[in-house]
Structure 1
């Protein structure tokens, strides 16, 4: 995100964007950990 975009966004929008970024990063980390251990989750449990 650029500084100009940050200035035009409300506090709630900035927090929501940071939350989405954090969630993406954590999901990616969890996937890598699961793959490195050779485990997979059943399809119904992956999105929880």
Structure 2
């Protein structure tokens, strides 16, 4: 039995994947920056209360 290659959908499929990965990376970076900012603000607030 010979293997049949499935025709590729189009050249835009890898580009679509790239766009999705880029958007996910951007969202992840924004979320991590927000978390770091919140931790810094919380640490500053705790230091103000102790001092």
Shorter-chain-normalised TM-score: which range? 0.5 to 0.7
TM normalised by structure 1 equals 0.60
Number of residue pairs matched?
A: 31
More contact order relative to length (CA 8 Å, sep ≥ 6): 1
Larger Rg: 1 or 2? 2
RMSD: 1.7
Which of 20, 24, 48 in structure 1 is aligned with 2:26? Answer: 24
- 1:2-41 map, 5 Å: 10-38=12-40
Deviation for aligned residue 1:23: 0.2
User: What 5-or-longer segments of structure 1 have no aligned partner?
Assistant: 1-8, 40-48
